[in-house]
Amino acid sequence: MSLRTIFLIGFLLALTSRAGAVPPLPEGLKPPIETERDAARTQSEPDLPEGLINLDLKEPPKADSATEVAATKPDWRPSAFIDTRLGTRLRDPIDQEQLSLAETRLQLKAVRRWSNITATVAVDILADAISDSNTPDLNTGEGFVDLREANVLWRPLSWIDIKAGRQILTWGTGEYLFLNDLFPKDYNSFFIGRPDAYLKAPSDAVKVSLFGDIANLDIVYSPQFDSDRFADGARLSVFNPFQTQVTGNRSIIESTRPADVFQDDELAARIYQTIGAYEGALYFYSGFWKSPLGFSSNESALRHNTLTSYGGSIRGPAKGGIANLEVAYYNSTEDPSGDEPSVPNSQVRFLLGYERELAKDFTGAVQVYLEQTIDYGALTQSIPVAALRPDKTRQVVTLRARKVWPENQVTATIFAAFSSTDQDGYIRANLNWSITDNLTLEAGSNILYGAQQTTQFAQLQSNSNIFVAARYGF
Amino acid sequence: MNKAALVFLIIVSAFGPPAHAQNTDANDIARQAEKTAFYQGEDGRARVSMQIIDKQGRTRSRDITILRKDEINDNSESGDQRFFVYFRAPSDVRDTVFLVWKHPQADDDRWLYLPALDLVRRIAAGDERSSFVGSDFFYEDVSGRSAEEDTHVVQDTTETYYILKSTPKDPNRVEFAYYISYIHKESYLPVQVEYYQSDHSKYREYTAEAVETIQGFPTVTRATMKDLADGGRTTLTYSDIHYDIDLSDDIFTERYLRNPPRQFFGEN
C-alpha cells in the first residue's frame, strides 16, 4: 500500500466518521432564518477588498522614523466666517430702538505654526446698525473692529507652555454661571443674541502653564484690568442706581475702570489634576470685581473694587452622568468688615451641577447656585433701606435640555434660570441648523422676567428679544 | 488500532495543522477581529476624510485626524484606549477636539474642546450607538465594540471567511437583534458586517472597501456604512496612517486640547 493510498483512506475515514457523528437537526430546531440564509449565503458573500486578495503579512512591523511622522509644514492657515443677525425686542423698549440686533460680522482668522511656536490672529470687522459708536475701542470691543485673538504660544521646554497676547480664557465648571472664572465676559453680546462664543471677551495677558506629574499649574497675568463688557444702558436697558429706575441709551451708567498698566493688574492661578476620571482644581484670583458693583466717592459713577478670590472645583462621572461641584470665596478687600455701603460685601459662591443623557441624542442638565453675602448684619446697619440692599442669599436654579438630530445637523437647546430669592428668571432658547457644511441658520430668544426692577434678570426684562441669524464659514 | 490509521496519525501530526487552521471558537474569532480592527500597534494616527451622503445625494464632509493610544496595565492590555479626535473641517468646527478615554467595561470619559470659548466641556457618557458627528457611523463603530458584549456563534466557514452571528448580551442597550460578520480568515479583518432587526430584516451594512498593509498591519483604508432604512451612507477614507509613533499619555489631556499636537498631524 502506497503512502498516498494510506493517506486517502485515512482522510476518507476521518470524513465519514465526522459526518456520521453529527446528526442533522430536526426541522423544528432549525431557526428559519438560517435555512433562508444558507441558500443565499454563498452568492451574497462579500468580495474581498483590494489589499486582502494578495495579503502579505510577512512584512515585519516597524516604527516610522519620528522625524517623518512629526514633520510640519510651516504656513499660515487662514479661515473666515460671515455672520449676520437680526433681532427685535418683544416689549416696549426703554430708551432703545425696537431692533435689538442688526449686524453683520466678518471674522478673519489665521494660524501659523513653527516647531515650538504657534501664532494666532482673529479679527472681527463689524457693521452694526444699532451701535452708536463706530470708532474702534479694542478694550471695550466697541466700534467696527474687535480684535478677538492676537497671541503667540511658545513651548520653551517640554513641560512649559507660554501664551502671550490677546486671548480668550476659560476655566471652571459652571454653564453660564461663573465662580472662579474671573476672565472678562461680554453680557451685552450674551443677552442680545450674538453667538455663544461672544460671551467671552478677550484678555490681554500672559498665561504660563507648567505641567508636572503631581499637578499642573496655570498662572495668568494681565498687566491692565480687563473688565466685563457689562450692561450699562448703551445696548441693554438696565437698573440705574443713580436714577433708581431702569434707563437705557439716553442715560448710560458712568463707571470708572482701573486702567493703570502694571498698577491695576490682575493675577489668576489654577492648580489642577485629573485623578482617575475626576478633575480637581484649586483657584486663586487677585484683581477687581469684574462688573462695577461699588460706588465712586462722589457717588456719580460705579466702580470696580478690589477683589481677591479663592476656590475649588471637582468634576467627574456620577450615576451615568457628569456631576460638578464648585465653590469660591470672594474677599472684597476694600470692605473687610462689610459695613461700607459703597463697596460690595464679601461673598461665598456655591455651585452644584449635574448633566446626563436622558434619551438618545437628548441631554438634560441642572445647576443649583447659591450666593451668600458675608457680614450681612453690618450691611443691614450701613444700608437701612432693604430695597437698596442686596439679598443675604441669592439662589438660582438652571435647567437645560438639548436635543440633537444628527442626520439633519439640527440642535435645539433650551436653557432656563430661575431665582426663587429674586423672583425672576431667564429663558434662553436656540435652534441651530447646519444646512450645508458652510451655511448655518439659527433662531433664538432671550426672555427675561421678574417682579422687581433691581434684581439681576428682572432689570433686563425690557430687553427680551428674539433673533434670527445666518453664518457662512469658509 | 490498525497500521493504516497509525500511519495516518503520524503523517497528520508530523505536518501539523494546515497553515490557516480552522478556528472554530467563535469568541476567539470575535476577539481576534476586534483586536485587528481596533488595537493594531501600541498607538497610531490616521487622517480621516468622511463623506456623508443622504438619500437625496447631498454630501457633507468632515476632515478629521485621529490619534489613538492603547493603555497597558501590568503588561497586559486592559482594553482601555485613548482617542484624540481633531476636526480640521468643516470650518465651523475647525480646531474642535473630541477626547475619549475608552473603557470597554465601563462608561467612557469624554471631553469636548470648543476653541472659540477656550472651553473644555465634560460630556456625559452617551449612547454608544448614536451618530458620530452626523454620519451613518456610530461612536461604537469608530472606537470599537467589545467582543465581550455579544454572544458569538460561527454560522459558517467559507474558503475566505468566518461568518459569525453575534447576539447582544444586553438587548436593551442596542438597536439590533443580531449582526452577521464576514471575517477574513487570514487577516481577521471584518470585511462586511450586516445588522438585523428582530424580524430578520437587514437595515444597516458595513463594508471594508480597501485594505492596505501598513507596517505589517492589514489596515482598512476605505469603509462604508449604509443605512438601508433611510438610504443614506457614509464613506470613511483613511490616509497618512502610521503605527507605533510613540504618543505620550499627556497628549490625551487638557493641555493638548487647548494646544493640539499638530506635529503629529503631519501638517499645519
State whether residue B54 sits within 8 Å of chain A by CB.
yes
- Extents of the domains making up chain B: 24-259
pTM: 0.87
A433 inside domain: yes
From first to last of its 268 residues, what are the pLDDT tens digits of chain B?
466 655 555 555 544 444 445 667 999 999 999 988 888 889 999 999 999 999 899 999 999 999 999 987 544 556 899 999 999 999 888 999 999 999 888 889 999 999 999 999 999 888 889 999 889 999 999 888 989 999 999 999 999 999 999 999 999 989 999 999 999 999 999 999 999 999 999 999 999 999 999 999 999 999 999 999 989 999 999 999 999 999 988 899 999 999 888 777 765 4
Give every CB contact of residue B154 below 8 A, 6+ residues apart in sequence: B24, B26, B29, B162, B163, B164
B47 touches chain A (CB under 8 A): no
The ipTM of this complex is 0.85
Exposed/middle/buried for residue B194 (C-beta within 10 Å: 0-12, 13-18, 19+): buried
CA distances from A389 to A203, A289, A377, A381, B53 (A): 32, 18, 11, 10, 60
Which chain B residues are within 8 Å of A322, Cβ to Cβ?
A: 122-124
Q: Determine whether B116 is exposed, middle or buried from the number of CB atoms within 10 Å of its CB (0-12, 13-18, 19+).
A: buried
Torsion sign, CA atoms A129, A133, A137, A141: negative
Pairing of strands B202-214, A362-373: unpaired
Whether residue B186 and residue A55 make contact (CB cut-off 8 A), yes or no, is: yes
Q: Is residue A19 part of a domain?
A: no
Q: Verify whether the Cβ–Cβ distance B90 to A6 is below 8 Å.
A: no
CB contact under 8 A, A406 and B131: yes
Helical axes A3-21 vs B3-15, angle rounded to 10°? 90
CATH number at residue A161: 2.40.160.100
Q: From CA B115, how far away is CA A366, in angstroms rounded?
A: 24
Residue A70 lies in a domain: no
The number of domains in chain A is 1
CA of A162 vs chain B CAs: smallest distance (Å): 11
Quick check: is A442 in a domain? yes
A chain contacts of residue B120, beta-carbon cutoff 8 Å: 170
pLDDT tens for B117-126 read: 999 999 988 8
**Torsion sign over Cα B113, B117, B123, B128:** negative
Report if residue A356 sits inside a domain: yes
> Closest chain A residue to B233 measured between Cα atoms?
A407
Using the predicted structure, report yes or no on whether residue A427 has a pLDDT greater than 70. Answer: yes
Q: Is B10 on the interface with A (CB under 8 A)?
A: no
Q: pLDDT digit string (tens) for A367-426? A: 999 999 998 888 888 777 776 677 889 999 999 999 999 888 999 999 999 999 999 999
Residue A441, in any domain of the structure: yes
Q: Is B22 exposed, middle or buried (0-12, 13-18, 19+ CB in 10 A)?
A: exposed
- Residue A33: pLDDT over 90: no
pLDDT at A328: 98
Mutation target to probe the A interface, by most A beta carbons within 10 A, among B262, B264, B265 is: B262
Note whether A33 contacts B: Cβ–Cβ < 8 A.
Answer: yes
- Distance, in Å, from the CA atom of A317 to the CA atom of A276, rounded to the nearest integer, reads 10
A61 found inside a domain? no
For domain B24-259, is the CATH number 3.30.465.10? no
Who's near A253: CB < 8 A, 6+ residues apart? A232, A233, A238, A240, A241, A242, A247, A301, A302
By C-alpha distance, which of A323, A419, A338 is closest to A375? A338
Are the C-beta atoms of B137 and B11 separated by less than 8 Å? Answer: no
Helix, strand, or coil (residue A17): helix
Residue A53 placed within a domain = no
Domain hosting residue A432, numbered range: 76-473
CA distance A119 to A110: 8
Phi, psi for A424 (deg, rounded to 5): -145, 180
Give the burial class of B130: count Cβ atoms within 10 A of its Cβ; 0-12 exposed, 13-18 middle, 19 or more buried.
middle
